[in-house]
Amino acid sequence: MATLIIATTAYNVYTAESLGIINHIMIFIETHETGPSTGRTTKSPEPSLKAAGDRSIKALLQLSLLWVSSVTQTAAHQQPLADSRLAINGIPFATRAYWMRVANQALSDLVSPCPFGAFGTAIVNHTSGDGLGELVCIGANSIGSTGNPTLHGEIAAINNCTAVLTSPTGPYNLTASQAQTAFKSLSLYTNAESCPMCASAIRWAGFKEYIYGTSIDTLIEKGWGQIRIVSADVFAASYDLSAATRLMGEVLTNETDPYFAWQYDP
């Protein structure tokens, strides 16, 4: 049933609000195809009424599929998610910019000043520190140095922070359970939008906030191979998870974009 496949695809991509509409479509399809023994068609036995009902269902279906199609086309071109200069969650833009620069700086701190895969991350506790917040750890793309293909900057940082949070000789000395809880209070800054693997890891960790610089769309424009699922879509599909994560996109792109602009433009 091809129509159901379309609906299922949309189910995986769009928000809970959209789900209601898509489920509605699926119910109509099932009612129409299972005949008069179930559903609405039992109340319309006359051929003329049934035919009118069929036409209505078809019209609704066509309209709904048009709607799904338009949403799909909109999602293909990501828009900025918010004015990045707003003081979201009570944290001013200057503070966001400060930590995004730390994410950029992670590259030279951990890898080299001008690496090819210039993806850096900083994980911050905004509930501690002197107003700026407290740096828990940094991470940078470590695939080249380790051979581990999963060590994107965000994954590397989550691994580093887990080690920092649970180290018996470190500043936190948390149990494994306490460390898992701690992530729900932390903010992850990354100088480029996370791939679906990293965006999923961010949701599984339950971060309080996720802030990125350069968008996946810009990375693609600059020649980077990407899995074309934006973070907003990963987040929209993760509503079953208990922790909420606030997403802020395209923060300080005037400073993050140059890190990704030269690699394929000799």
- Which residues sit at the interface with Zn ion, rule CB under 5 A? 152, 195, 197-198
Residue 22 or 237: the one with the smaller Cβ distance to Zn ion is 237
CB 211 within 8 A of CB 251: yes
Return the closest-CA partner of residue 234 out of 218, 220, 245: 245
In angstroms, rounded to a whole number, what is the distance separating the alpha carbons of residues 99 and 124? Answer: 8
The alpha-helical segments, DSSP class H, found in 111-208 are 143-146, 153-166, 176-182, 196-205
Residue 65 or 197: the one with the smaller Cβ distance to Zn ion is 197
Closest approach of Cβ 261 to Zn ion, in Å? 19
The amino acid at 198: C
Closest approach of Cβ 255 to Zn ion, in Å? 20
Closest approach of Cβ 119 to Zn ion, in Å? 7
Closest approach of Cβ 235 to Zn ion, in Å? 15
Strand 246-248's sheet: what is its strand order?
134-140, 120-125, 186-192, 209-214, 246-248
Q: Which residues are paired to 50 by β-bridges?
A: none
Return the closest-CA partner of residue 211 out of 235, 187, 228: 187
Q: Which residues are paired to 248 by β-bridges?
A: 211
Closest approach of Cβ 214 to Zn ion, in Å? 13
Return the closest-CA partner of residue 81 out of 235, 255, 201, 240: 235
Residue 57 or 158: the one with the smaller Cβ distance to Zn ion is 158
In angstroms, rounded to a whole number, what is the distance separating the alpha carbons of residues 24 and 35? Answer: 17
Residue 26 or 143: the one with the smaller Cβ distance to Zn ion is 143
Residue 195 or 232: the one with the smaller Cβ distance to Zn ion is 195
Residue 64 or 200: the one with the smaller Cβ distance to Zn ion is 200
Closest approach of Cβ 162 to Zn ion, in Å? 17
What does the DSSP assignment read for 106-139? HHHHHT-SS-SS--EEEEEETTSSSSS-EEEEEE
Closest approach of Cβ 77 to Zn ion, in Å? 21
Tokens of 251: 């923060």
Return the closest-CA partner of residue 212 out of 232, 183, 228, 182: 232
Residue 116 or 127: the one with the smaller Cβ distance to Zn ion is 116
Closest approach of Cβ 154 to Zn ion, in Å? 6
